């Protein structure tokens, strides 16, 4: 999924509310954990700038976390149409 426009601050809050890790994986196989120190230092803003140009997959270890993330992304997608 290419992420065109999402509210990064809302996404950060959503990730912080998740009970397990949230992974961002590019089509090349590069992977970051959204709540990790490295991702915090790079900044999700920069990560999502790159995500606008290539497909990334967002996966959660916890099924209920995945449902929250999917709902958030679907709502963001609906706002663009």
* Cα dihedral 8, 10, 16, 21 sign: negative
Tens of pLDDT, residue by residue over 35-69, are 887 777 777 777 777 767 778 889 999 999 999 99
The answer as to whether 73 is a domain residue is: yes
Question: Which range is most confident: 6-15, 27-36, 64-73?
Answer: 64-73
The answer as to whether 20 is a domain residue is: yes
Q: Which residue has the higher pLDDT, 42 or 31?
A: 31
Q: Which residue has the higher pLDDT, 10 or 42?
A: 10
Count of domains in the chain?
Answer: 1
Question: How many angstroms separate the CA atoms of 36 and 5, rounded?
Answer: 22
Q: Which domain holds residue 58?
A: 8-80
Q: Can you list the alpha helix ranges (DSSP code H) found in 1-81?
A: 8-17, 37-42, 44-51, 63-80
The answer as to whether 42 is a domain residue is: yes
Give the per-residue pLDDT at 79: 63
The answer as to whether 60 is a domain residue is: yes
The answer as to whether 1 is a domain residue is: no
Read off the pTM. Answer: 0.78
Give the per-residue pLDDT at 1: 56
The answer as to whether 47 is a domain residue is: yes
Strand-pairing partners, residue 22, are 60
The answer as to whether 58 is a domain residue is: yes
């Amino acid at each position: 999924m290419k992420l065109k426009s999402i509210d990064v601050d809302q996404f950060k809050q959503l990730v912080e509310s998740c009970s397990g890790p949230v992974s961002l994986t590019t089509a090349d196989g590069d992977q970051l954990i959204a709540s990790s120190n490295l991702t915090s230092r790079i900044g999700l803003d920069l990560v999502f700038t790159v995500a606008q140009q290539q497909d990334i997959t967002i996966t959660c270890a916890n099924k209920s976390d995945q449902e929250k993330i999917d709902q958030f992304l679907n709502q963001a997608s609906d706002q663009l149409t």
